[in-house]
């Protein structure tokens, strides 16, 4: 915030029409960000034609993808793009836990220590990793490989205790299995998560968080459902339970005096019976059998 001349309000919101934002008079570091992120910035802005400031959260993720954290020049860049004061951007950046203000490692290891994971052993997992790595919450190992944090509920209580690496899941961890994951990360390996895509770096993940597709081959197809997700379903399937009376042709009641609208081409296929289908067999069933000793 030392030099006011670098924050003159730029002519920005033109990027709504696809024109590149005109951002002159940036500090050299922010100008470098601009040169690197120009195209992605325009794509982000195009998602919010009615309210360009909505681009701020994705833009903050985007600058993290370069710097591994929200740096002062990252703040400067976001402010310039959106015609905001740097203080306004900093106020937002400091509110959200996923925006890091200190340098981060290649991998962010988050251990859930909220109540359910906690009583199932999550606290021991966190304490073990903290002792192993010699770092505490929101701290990074000296080799720049791993940032450790304890996280609040990660919405996977049926797999507790869980940890995530760059937000992909390792389910039902123990202190031993968590140490194994971390040891392999430190050795330069990328152990496969239980659910999610194969690991990438935290900076690469920030690009996805900014709203861009994961272009890596097969990433989207990474495991989505583990055994717990499907338990109720498999139980119903195994016992032949379905909700009776479902008829997809049930007419929609038309309001009185209103002629029906018939402008939609019908689908050129019959309605299915809703039974499981797909390109692959059901690996989850095998999965469950293994997990529960023949339960499926």
- Interaction residues for another protein, span 238-257 (CB under 8 A): 239, 241-248, 250-255
State which of positions 62-101 bind another protein (CB under 8 A).
Answer: 82, 91-92, 95-99
Among the listed residues 164, 178, 181, 185, the single contact to another protein using CB under 8 A: 164
Where does this chain touch another protein (CB under 8 A) — which range of 3-11, 25-33, 152-160, 184-192?
152-160
Q: Is the separation of the CB atoms in 58 and 211 below 8 Å?
A: yes
In whole angstroms, what is the distance from residue 252 CA to residue 150 CA? 50
CA distance 174 to 120: 9
Least spacing, CB of residue 174 vs another protein, in Å? 16
Q: For the purposes of burial, counting CB atoms within 10 Å of the CB of 142, is it exposed (0-12), middle (13-18) or buried (19 or more)?
A: exposed
In whole angstroms, the minimum distance from the beta carbon of 28 to another protein comes to 26
Q: Which of 77, 133, 160, 202 binds another protein (CB under 8 A)?
A: 160
**What per-residue string of b and e applies to 50-65 under the rule 16 or more CB within 10 Å gives b?**
eebeebbbbbbbbbbb
CA–CA dist 2, 94 (Å, integer)? 20
Residue with tokens 């019908």: 266
196: left (phi over 0), alpha (psi -120 to 50) or beta: left
Closer CB to another protein, 140 or 284, in the complex: 284
Taking CB under 8 A as the criterion, which residues in 222-241 touch another protein? 222, 224-225, 227-237, 239, 241
Cβ-based nearer residue to another protein, 41 or 166: 166
Residue ranges in 28-47 that form contacts with another protein under rule CB under 8 A: 47
Find out whether the peptide bond into 161 is cis, omega within 30 degrees of 0: yes
Minimum CB distance to another protein smaller for 187 or for 263:
263
Q: Which residue shows structure tokens 């961890």?
A: 173
By CB under 8 A, what part of segment 175-214 binds another protein? Answer: 195-197, 205, 208-214
Q: Judge whether 185 and 107 are in contact, CB under 8 Å.
A: yes
Shortest separation between residue 142's beta carbon and another protein, angstroms:
25
Residue 57 lies near another protein (rule: CB under 8 A) = yes
Number of residues that bind another protein (CB under 8 A): 109
Tokens of 279: 């390109």
- Paired with 152 in beta bridges are none
For residues 105-124, which are near another protein according to CB under 8 A? 110, 113-116, 118-120
Which of 101, 220, 286, 290 binds another protein (CB under 8 A)? It is 220
């Amino acid at each position: 915030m030392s030099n006011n001349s670098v924050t003159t309000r730029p002519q920005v919101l033109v990027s709504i029409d696809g024109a590149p934002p005109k951002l002159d008079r940036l500090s050299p570091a922010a100008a470098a960000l601009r040169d690197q992120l120009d195209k992605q910035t325009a794509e982000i802005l195009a998602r919010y034609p009615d309210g360009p400031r909505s681009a701020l959260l994705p833009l903050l993720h985007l600058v993290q993808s370069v710097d591994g954290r929200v740096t002062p020049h990252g703040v400067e860049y976001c402010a310039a793009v959106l015609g905001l004061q740097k203080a306004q951007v900093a106020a937002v950046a400091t509110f959200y836990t996923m925006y890091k203000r200190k340098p981060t490692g290649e991998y962010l290891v988050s251990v859930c220590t909220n109540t359910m994971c906690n009583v199932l052993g999550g606290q021991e997992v966190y304490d073990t990793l903290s002792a192993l790595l010699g770092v505490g919450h929101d701290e990074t190992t000296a080799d720049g490989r791993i940032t450790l944090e304890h996280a609040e509920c990660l919405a996977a209580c049926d797999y507790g205790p869980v940890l995530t690496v760059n937000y992909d899941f390792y389910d039902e961890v123990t202190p031993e299995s968590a140490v194994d994951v971390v040891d392999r990360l430190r050795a330069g390996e990328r152990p496969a998560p239980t659910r999610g895509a194969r690991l990438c770096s935290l900076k690469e993940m920030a690009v996805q968080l900014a709203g861009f597709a994961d272009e890596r081959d097969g990433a989207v197809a990474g495991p989505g459902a583990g055994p717990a997700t499907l338990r109720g379903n498999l139980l119903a399937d195994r016992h032949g339970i379905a909700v009776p009376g479902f008829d997809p042709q049930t007419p929609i009641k038309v309001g009185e005096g209103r002629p029906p609208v018939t402008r939609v081409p019908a689908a050129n296929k019959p309605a299915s019976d809703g039974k499981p289908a797909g390109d692959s067999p059901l690996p989850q069933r095998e999965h469950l059998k293994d997990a529960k000793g023949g339960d499926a």
